[in-house]
Structure 1
Amino acid sequence: MRIVDVCAFYTPAGGGVKTYVERKLQAGPPAGHEIVILAPGPEDKIEEVAPGAVIATIAAAPFPLDRNYHYFDDEGRLHAALDQWRPDLVEVASPWTSASMVGRWRGAAPRALIMHCDFLSAYPYRWLQGLFSIETIDRRLDWYWRHLRKLDRQFDFVVSASDDLTQRLRTGGVAKAQTIPMGVQPGIFSPDLRDEQLRREMLEQCDLPPEATLLVGLGRMAPEKRWPMICEAVLAAGSHHAVGLVLFGSGRDRARVIRATRGSPHIIVAPAITDRARLARMLASADALIHGCEAETFCMVAAEGAASGLPLILPDRGGAADHHRPGCGIRYAACDARDLGERLTAYLGEDLLAERRRAAALAPQVRLMDAHFSDLFAVYKRSVARAAA
């Protein structure tokens, strides 16, 4: 079947969505499916990246908050592109304008909405935390839930990558929500890539000896990632233990993150790593991965850390929480810098070598992205068969 993915979040400079899209383009054709990524971009362009794998861009306006992205701003042109591609199934990667546009498309193909973003956790819950409960915020933002319930009626199913988000969607009246977890790229991440010399070099950059604990963090420098909270907790734990943190990432919040280090030589804010092989070596050579964002829909970074044999230090809400494994790291109260600092301090006093050995033993069990696509394509195939019948 031909699957057209209307992907508003795709950009060649992107992160997790780009990784997901590129693997889908590789996974689809061997499974007998043609994959067309239909994305907004600077110009009209069709690129066949492989037989049965196409990236087609529609000229669209730049996204005001991030010039790496564009957004669909012409419904007629999007509908014309869908008519031209004649999909067997349409997938939409954003619950906003592009989903509404596809919902109004007059084509007969089944439609799937993929929840690659958790708007409420990323913004309203974060902005209003401490002032209102989540239940109160949901009631005040009933317009958003009405929007999602309308999409639920227009689409054949809604896919979430975490049970946390799926349950919140169902509670909010999105009856077709179902969980299909994502996974990591195969053949890239492994505990076998651990390099003790690389670990020593990273600790030296943190002005610490080899006996210290090396934490790594990966992700965009954006407010919802909560890197200043991570820095605050590591600084607090550093009063009791020798611990270094290397943060890899880029984004508009970079200067704020650097200020949050308070000039500590033990926290390094490094550029994002685009070389996946180098990233895998960096991860495998650390002692634990730390993450602060409770708004992740899956948390690819946590999955990659687990596949690299790392214990994980994660919030107890959102997609990141799904990756916690007993005896291989800790969960802390999401959004709570004090709780993270206290739990991290206690955790650094434990036998971290044993934790890392357990994490390395469990690494081969981490779900691969191809398993996600196998499950997703099976759902799509049943939906197309029902539509044909």
Structure 2
Amino acid sequence: MRIVDVNEYYCPTGGGVRTYIDRKMRLLADLGHELIVIAPGHENRLEHRPGGGRVFWVAAPRLPFDRSYGMFWDGAPVTALLDELNPDVVETSSPFRPAWIVANWRAPAAKVFFAHNDHMTAYAQRWVGRLASRQKVESWFGWYTRYLAHFLDRFDAFVTNGRTLDRWYSGRGLQVDAPLPLGVEGGVFAPHLRDEQLRAALLGECHLPPCAHLLIGVGRHHPEKRWPMVIDAVEQAGQSAIGLILLGDGVDRPKIFSRVAGNPHIRLFKPIFERERFASVLASADALVHGSDTEPFGLVALEAIASGLPLIVPNEGGSAEFAAPSHSESYNARDAKSCAAAILRLLARDSVQLRSATLDAAGRVRTDLDHLIDLLDYYNQLLLRRSIS
């Protein structure tokens, strides 16, 4: 099977989407299939990926607020590539130009809109959610749901990356054909990667002894991640006994750096792109603390569980899906006081029982190979239905 992904979120400099797609390319090649990406770049260029797969960069304008990303404007170069590549399935996940480019492309391929995010929750709810209830905001922005429905009518399937997006979109009256949850990168994350010397060194960076608690937060420095709220919560929970390391970067870094200035127990580190090293750092913390309530799928939370970490997560958003009481504490989204209380509850739990629960959960984590096998099975069914209709 040849799958082509018209992907506006695939960035030349990295990021979560690129990590997912590059891994997907390798796994599909191992399974005898091909994934090709068409992405906006600085210039027209073909790039071969190790282990299989290709990326066609199409020269496109840069986004004004983040020039690492581009946006398709002229659809002709994209449809010309689609004609040349002749895929069995074409995917896209952006509800803007890529959705219409794919929707209007005339070809026999199955067209799949694969939602990895939800702009209604990520933006509308975050921007005006303080002014009204979630239901009221959904009503105000009902035009956006109608806009989605307009182009989704031209796709063969609407797929989401898990149950959270399925619930959000279905709640607005849109038909989701298949929620296909993602999974962690197999063979990378594991509890046995915990390194007590590394843990002590990280606490040392926080000017704390090994007997202190080490929390870790992972994610972009962006308003939707709510790191200032997490920092407030950690400080309220007990500055002298808790160290916090945040791995990430982004547009809010100056603001977050200013927020933690003067607090020696909170340290900011750049993202760790080397997966084995990242997995070791993750496994060496005592718990993951997370702030985002708008993410559609809590991949970082799932990676933490696979690493043997308990969770401290909001009760809304993708991470909430994985917050089993045996190894997690939940708090009211966007509430620093509630988050602080959740931190204290987790740290007060019996450490032996908690470790046993996290190890049990780690052994049952879904992998990215599980995700792709389900995805291929669904695509095969979709192609079969199209062939007999």
**TM-score, normalisation: structure 1:** 0.96
Q: Which amino acid aligns with 2:187?
A: G
Q: Which amino acid aligns with 2:55?
A: I
> Structure 1 residues 344-353 or 29-38, which shifts more?
344-353
> Structure 1 residues 318-327 or 50-59, which shifts more?
50-59
**Structure 1 residues 59 and 112, CA, compared in 2 at 3 Å: closer, same or farther?**
same
Aligned-partner Cα distance in 2 for 1:132–1:98: 32
Deviation string 1:230-252 (CA, Å, 9 cap, x unpaired) is 0000000015x611100011111
| Contact in 2 for aligned 1:287/1:356 (Cα 8 Å) | no
Match in the other structure for 1:226: 226
Aligned-partner Cα distance in 2 for 1:49–1:165: 30
Q: CA deviation at 1:56?
A: 1.1
Aligned-partner Cα distance in 2 for 1:262–1:177: 48
| Contact in 2 for aligned 1:206/1:268 (Cα 8 Å) | yes
Aligned-partner Cα distance in 2 for 1:283–1:347: 17
Aligned-partner Cα distance in 2 for 1:69–1:301: 22
Aligned-partner Cα distance in 1 for 2:354–2:257: 30
Match in the other structure for 1:344: 343
3-state SS of paired residue (2:316): coil
Aligned-partner Cα distance in 2 for 1:150–1:23: 32
Within-5 A mapping of 1:74-223: 74-223=74-223
Q: Which amino acid aligns with 1:5?
A: D
Q: CA deviation at 1:97?
A: 1.8
Q: CA deviation at 1:199?
A: 0.5
Within-5 A mapping of 1:1-389: 1-50=1-50, 52-238=52-238, 242-261=241-260, 263-389=262-388
Q: CA deviation at 1:90?
A: 0.5
Which stretches of structure 1, 4 residues or more, deviate above 6 A after TM superposition?
none
Structure 2 unaligned blocks of 5 or more? none
**Structure 1 residues 162 and 256, CA, compared in 2 at 3 Å: closer, same or farther?**
same
Identity, in percent, stands at: 40
Q: CA deviation at 1:208?
A: 1.2
Aligned-partner Cα distance in 1 for 2:128–2:324: 30
Structure 1 unaligned blocks of 5 or more? none
Q: CA deviation at 1:377?
A: 1.0
RMSD of the alignment, in Å? 1.5
Q: CA deviation at 1:345?
A: 2.6
| Contact in 2 for aligned 1:236/1:345 (Cα 8 Å) | no
Aligned-partner Cα distance in 1 for 2:222–2:24: 26
Aligned-partner Cα distance in 1 for 2:178–2:377: 14
Q: CA deviation at 1:260?
A: 2.4
| Contact in 1 for aligned 2:312/2:342 (Cα 8 Å) | no
Q: CA deviation at 1:51?
A: 6.6
Deviation string 1:247-276 (CA, Å, 9 cap, x unpaired) is 011111011112222521111111111111
| Contact in 2 for aligned 1:188/1:276 (Cα 8 Å) | yes
3-state SS of paired residue (1:186): coil
Q: For this pair of structures, how many residues does the alignment match?
A: 388
